[in-house]
Amino acid sequence: DAGVTQSPTHLIKTRGQHVTLRCSPISGHKSVSWYQQVLGQGPQFIFQYYEKEERGRGNFPDRFSARQFPNYSSELNVNALLLGDSALYLCASSLTVNTEAFFGQGTRLTVV
């Protein structure tokens, strides 16, 4: 079975641009969460979606937004990119809430 897949794996963007990151959960998983992992730190929670509704949001500015589609895949959008947005963005899916979260390999975003 395919695990959590994220695309693209690497991305380079210029300050001020917009970026869209994509995540496909494990088949049957209805919950998707996004995390930002800055180099040398633990992941920080950005969003959680369950059954296409936002169920949680971390302490991130409104430049960050996300959505979940009817097939449970998800997009993370970041507007007006800053140098500080450079990080590994991780997506995790789980069958339902409070169950094991399975992570994808992440998207490495570099803002120059």
CA distances from 97 to 32, 72, 85, 106 (A): 10, 14, 28, 21
Q: How far apart are CA 94 and CA 54, in angstroms?
A: 15
90 binds other proteins (CB under 8 A): yes
- Between residues 17 and 110, which has the closer beta carbon with respect to other proteins? 110
The answer to whether residue 67 forms part of the interface with other proteins (CB under 8 A) is no
Considering the rule CB under 8 A, would residue 102 count as an interface residue with other proteins? yes
CB 30 within 8 A of CB 101: no
> Which one of residues 58, 60, 65, 67 is an interface residue with other proteins (CB under 8 A)?
58
Closer to other proteins by Cβ: residue 67 or 108: 108
